[in-house]
Chains A and B, each alone.
Chain A
């Protein structure tokens, strides 16, 4: 069975290139301070921004890089990073999914829960041109005592 997995999984992984389907949601931590909320979002955005080199292609490629006996560890890390940058140019949707996942993990770590919201409402907020006003809207959702909508998994 394991030999079957060795064949099926890599092929299936390499063959699949799902589009980055967008969920619509907001994060909530009742009563969170506005400054704390902004700092938390920035910190998690920074971690999500580190996503660059995982994709089906880079997973396989990283193995080759990390296991290349002709490279030192530092060179392997550098090569993996550069390779990720190249592949990242082609794997935008996969990276976006990972970035969203990093954001979810990071904010959950900081005590936020995630709730579904209406797509139209989400777009209305995102289209708010005044940045301060847009932040106010997201913060109102984030700090609300009784968030509306179905809670989503982390």
Chain B
């Protein structure tokens, strides 16, 4: 990047003068007119000369299911309320309303799989003032491809280093599962409050506002899945419940619209 570009960027950043977002450290700081999302985010794992785990953020956005429009994004990436290695537990203050899981971003990765907008189909959910909504555990994963240029193997990486070749990025997908006994312990001051289980509604589509790759939240496996199906996160030890709605089917892709994947017993695909 040229010096002029850097100077322009610096000017942009200075113009956006910054009050720092405050980390919530106690129940006293939680406001009754706001809602709060509690979400654990696992690192993205990939194999390249061993197992690698990269901290990745997840992006939420206010969403209008009728107009399919999102508004200003929020990124869960900084200031976790608890962490365990590269696993993070976030508490995010939001306005009441409908929110969509908009994508992944803010990764430590240079590999190009970090910025993915779930524009092709994601979950949205409603939150109400005063609620502490337990979104469960988010597990972002690389959506591997049969394109040999995307493989994170030694040949491709050495090719990058020695010959200026490139490893083509792949998008992420994201699985959601209920919190379990092995997950990060919720801080006591937060655990004392009642947790609300959200109803995730599948099929929210929207523009590529993140500027990177796109995918469905459930990746290729979700192609042809019915829009409008509501999925409820189960509590640990209880099965998830997925209730197909009478809403319009998403356009069939590789599978016919009627071939909806079965509900999974313990997680959302």
Contacts and interface: CB of A to CB of B under 8 A. Distances in A.
Contacts of A62: 105-106, 115
Contacts of A73: 21, 73-75
A111 B253 contact: yes
Contacts of B146: 153-154
Contacts, number: 174
A62 B13 CA distance: 12
B213 interface: yes
Contacts of B106: 62-63, 66-67
A33 B49 CA distance: 47
A74 B110 contact: no
A117 to B, nearest CB: 18
Interface string B188-217: 000000000000000000011111111110
Contacts of A10: 110
Nearest to A49: B208
Contact of B168 (A11, A17, A97): A97
Contact of B211 (A9, A16, A84, A105): A84
B110 A154 contact: no
A79 interface: yes
Contacts of B147: 153-154
A79 B160 contact: no
A113 to B, nearest CB: 9
A111 B108 contact: no
Contact of A69 (B78, B148, B215, B254): B78
Interface in A85-102: 86-87, 89-90, 97-98, 101-102
Contact of B160 (A16, A77, A110): A16
Interface in A109-154: 109-111, 153-154
Contact of A110 (B148, B166, B251): B251
A30 to B, nearest CB: 13
B228 interface: no
Chain A interface category by residue count: 35 or more
Contacts of A46: 207-208
Contacts of B8: 86
B120 interface: yes
B253 A110 contact: yes
B1 A57 contact: yes
A47 B246 CA distance: 27
Interface of B: 1-2, 5, 8-9, 12-13, 16, 18-21, 48-50, 52, 57, 72-75, 77-78, 105-108, 110-112, 114-115, 117, 119-120, 145-148, 157, 160-161, 164-166, 168-169, 171, 207-216, 223, 251-254
Given A77-B73, A153-B146, 15 more contacts: A5-B157, A12-B161, A47-B119, A54-B211, A54-B213, A59-B112, A62-B105, A62-B115, A66-B75, A79-B12, A82-B12, A87-B5, A90-B5, A111-B251, A111-B252
18 contacts: A5-B157, A9-B110, A47-B208, A49-B208, A50-B214, A51-B212, A54-B112, A54-B212, A67-B77, A67-B106, A74-B73, A77-B75, A83-B12, A106-B120, A108-B253, A108-B254, A110-B253, A154-B147
Interface of A: 1-2, 4-5, 8-13, 15-18, 46-54, 56-57, 59-63, 65-84, 86-87, 89-90, 97-98, 101-102, 105-106, 108-111, 153-154
